[in-house]
Amino acid sequence: MRVVLTGGGTGGHIYPAVAIARQCEKEDPKTEFLYIGGQRGLESKLVPQEKLPFESIDITGFRRKLSFDNVKTIMRFFKGVKRSKALLREFKPDVVIGTGGYVCGPVVYAAAKLGIPTMIHEQNAIPGLTNQFLSRYADTVAVSFEGSVSSFPKAKRTVYTGNPRATTVLTANRERGFATLGIPMEAQVVLIVGGSRGAKAINNAMMGMAPFLHKLPGVHFVFVTGDTYFENTRESILAQLGTMANHLHIMPYIHNMPEVLAATSLIVNRAGASFLAEITSLGIPSVLIPSPNVTNNHQEANARQLEEAGASSMILEKDLTAETLFGKLEEIMTSRSTRETMSAASKKLGKPDSAAVMVEEIRRLTGKR
**Cα–Cα distance between 271 and 286 in angstroms, integer?**
10
Q: Is the pLDDT confidence value at 12 over 90? A: no
Q: Is 299 annotated as a binding residue?
A: yes
Q: What domains does the chain contain, in order, with CATH numbers? A: 2-163+352-366 (3.40.50.2000), 169-349 (3.40.50.2000)
* Closest C-alpha to 346, from 313, 299, 298: 313
Q: Is 12 annotated as a binding residue?
A: yes
Q: Kindly report the pTM of this predicted structure.
A: 0.84
Q: Is the pLDDT confidence value at 164 over 80? A: yes
The three-class DSSP label of residue 200 is helix
Task: List all residues 6 or more positions away from 85 whose beta carbon is below 8 Å from its beta carbon.
Answer: 110, 113, 114
Task: List all residues 6 or more positions away from 310 whose beta carbon is below 8 Å from its beta carbon.
Answer: 341, 342, 345
pLDDT confidence tier of residue 69, bands split at 50, 70 and 90: low
* Closest C-alpha to 275, from 295, 253, 263, 290: 290
Q: Could you give the residue ranges of the DSSP H alpha helices within 223-335?
A: 230-241, 257-262, 273-282, 298-309, 322-333
**Cα–Cα distance between 113 and 96 in angstroms, integer?**
12
Task: List all residues 6 or more positions away from 336 whose beta carbon is below 8 Å from its beta carbon.
Answer: none
Q: Is 269 annotated as a binding residue?
A: no
Q: Is the pLDDT confidence value at 62 over 70? A: no
Phi/psi of residue 155, nearest 5 degrees: -75, 150
Q: Is 10 annotated as a binding residue?
A: yes
Are the C-beta atoms of 316 and 300 separated by less than 8 Å?
Answer: yes
Q: Is the pLDDT confidence value at 70 over 70? A: no
| pLDDT tens, residue by residue, 306-340 | 999 999 999 999 999 999 999 999 999 999 999 99
More confident residue, 43 or 68: 43
Give the pLDDT of residue 147: 85
Q: Is 204 annotated as a binding residue?
A: no
Give the pLDDT of residue 128: 85
Give the pLDDT of residue 330: 97
Give 34's strand partners: 4
* Closest C-alpha to 351, from 96, 64, 159, 65: 159
Phi/psi of residue 98, nearest 5 degrees: -110, 130
Q: Is 37 annotated as a binding residue?
A: no
The string over 279-315, giving b where at least 16 C-beta atoms fall within 10 Å of a residue's C-beta and e elsewhere, is: bbbbbbbbbbbbbeebeeebbbbbbbbbbeebbbbbb
Q: Is 305 annotated as a binding residue?
A: no
